Structure formats: C-alpha cells, structure tokens
Structure 1
C-alpha cells in the first residue's frame, strides 16, 4: 500500500528544518544541495516543494512570522492596559531573543544578497511584515499607524543594538518605559 503523505505538513517540516541550517551557515552561504543534505532529503524533493532557495526562504520567513505571532498571542494573554500589552510584547522578544535574533540576522543577510530590483521579493517581505504589524496592533488595540510604527521601530532598534553587543540594555526596562510613555500619551495613565 502506498504511503499517504500530507504534503502541506511535509512542506512545513522541510521549512522548519531549514531554519537551523540557514541560521548556521547564512542564506548566502548555503545551497539547495546543502540544505537537502542537512535536512536528509534529495535535492529533487526539495525542488519539488520549493522552486528555488529564495522561494523556500520567503516561505520560511512567512511561516516564522506567523508562528511568532501565534506564540506571542498564546503567551501574552489579555492584559487590561496598553502599558501591560506593550510590556508583554517586549518581554516576549526578550524570552525568545536567541531565536528572533537568528531570524533578524538571516533577514539582513538575505537583503544584502538579494536583487531588490525584483519587486515581488520586496513586496513579499513587506506583506509578511505588514501582517505581523497588523496582528500585533490589533492585540495592543492601537489604530494609529504612527504609534504602531514607533513601537516597532523602537523594538527593532533595540533588537539590533542587542545583537551587536549592547547586552546591558534591558527589554523589560525599555518595554516598561515605552508602555508608560504611550499610555500617558494616549491618556490611559493618570
């Protein structure tokens, strides 16, 4: 009897296994052949599910962002105040700093070695980022895009500073400060 394969689940497994390989070697340094060997499948199998290394990476990016949001929402619960919701976002990033840091470095590597004249790749990255931002804006109950962008710019900047050696800067302290400032600005804190 032939083996029944859930192709979506198998594609998902291939994606998740590829993350560690990309993180170890970098996007620009690994080939599809090396990915296939590291995952334990044939190169043909990998190409059956992903047309190219770039296609695999873009799907991985989308899946990692989706999982990050899903895990964050599950862990964060439903704090009653804006300050607490912002703090929970910064605490989540602190708790998962290693994994999120690896993702960030991979995205930087990908961007450095990608031809941005291909607008479809750029659009895919923007689309993934926008989905994440909108999901988290909904969680924080903030509709003002300028405020949402401020929160993410501060968080992304903090992540990069920590990646590049500023380990004394605390996600918890920065999240508390941002939460307090924005709650005050938005009239939630007396």
Structure 2
C-alpha cells in the first residue's frame, strides 16, 4: 500500500528545519542542495515544495511570524492588565532571546540581498502584524505601539551586540511605566 503523506505537515516541518539552517549560516550562504541535504530529501522533492530558495525563506518567515504571534497571544492573554502583559512579554522575549535574535539577523541578512521593493512589502506586512498585536495586547493606539515595536527591535539588537549593556527586565519595567503614562494621557484627552 502506498505511503500517505500529509503535504502540509511535511512542508511545515521542512520550513522549521530550514529556520535552523538559515539561522546557522544566513540566507546567502545556503544553497538549495544544502537545504535538501539538511532536510534529507532529494533536490527534486525540495523543488516540488519550493520553487526557489527565496520562496522557502519567505514561507518560513511568514510561518515563523504567524506562529510567534499565536504563541505570544496565548502567553499574554492569561494576564489581566496591559501592564502585566507588557512585563510578561519581556519574560517571553528574555526566555527566547536567541530565537528573536535569529529572526532579526535573518531579516537583516535577507533584506540586504533581495530586491528592495519585494522585501519591503514582506517586512512591512510582518511589522504591521506585530504592531497590531502590540496595540491589542497593551491597549494603545497603533502610533504608540509602533514606537514600542521599534524599541523591541532595538532591545533585541542591543542584547545581541552587548548582552551586559542593558537589563531587559529593567527596560520592560521602564517602558511599562511610559506606557501607563501614555494610556493615562489618552484617557484624560478623551474625557
């Protein structure tokens, strides 16, 4: 009897395995042949699922961002206030620091090597998803959530360059205080 393959599940597993490979070597330093070898599939099978290395990367990043947002929502929805959710987000990011650093490095590596217009569209969509999630979770308008998103990217990058330079916990506590003040200001302006 022929083996029944769940192609969606197989593609998902391939994408996850590619994340590890791209994280180790970067986008440009990996060939389709290396990807096939890492995934233990033939190059023909790889091309059946993904026509180009770029399509692998783009599907991988879409998958990673979607799963990350789901995971963050699940972890943050158990807390009551927006301030508690912000502090909890700090715990999540601190615990998964290497993962977020890998996402950032991969995005930068890919951005430098690909046609600007296509890449900007993809990363703009990812940023929009994160900003919307932040806005919802901490109950702030998107213009403020955009600032927090940019700060988060900077925090991940600063920790990558110099892990002892700043305390993530202190940073999240400070931003939570700023966030509280912004929410109070918005509340009084609305009254």
Which runs of 5 or more residues in structure 2 are unaligned? Answer: none
1:140-159 matched pairs, under 5 angstroms: 140-142=138-140, 144-159=141-156
Q: Determine which structure has greater relative contact order: mean sequence separation of CA pairs < 8 Å that are 6+ residues apart, divided by chain length.
A: 1
The answer to whether residue 63 in structure 2 is matched with residue 24 in structure 1 is no
TM-score by length of 2: 0.90
Aligned residue number for residue 59 of structure 1:
59
Work out whether residues 27 and 109 of structure 2, in 8 Å CA contact, stay in contact via their aligned partners in 1: yes
Which runs of 5 or more residues in structure 1 are unaligned? Answer: none
Give the number of the structure whose residues are more often helix, by fraction: 2
1:30-179 matched pairs, under 5 angstroms: 30-116=30-116, 119-142=117-140, 144-179=141-176
Work out whether residues 69 and 136 of structure 1, in 8 Å CA contact, stay in contact via their aligned partners in 2: no
1:36-91 deviations in Å (ceiling 9; x for gaps):
10111111111111111111101111111111112212222332222212222222
What is the count of residue pairs matched by the alignment? 186
Comparing 68-77 with 4-13, greater Cα deviation is found at 68-77
SS in 2 for 1:178: helix
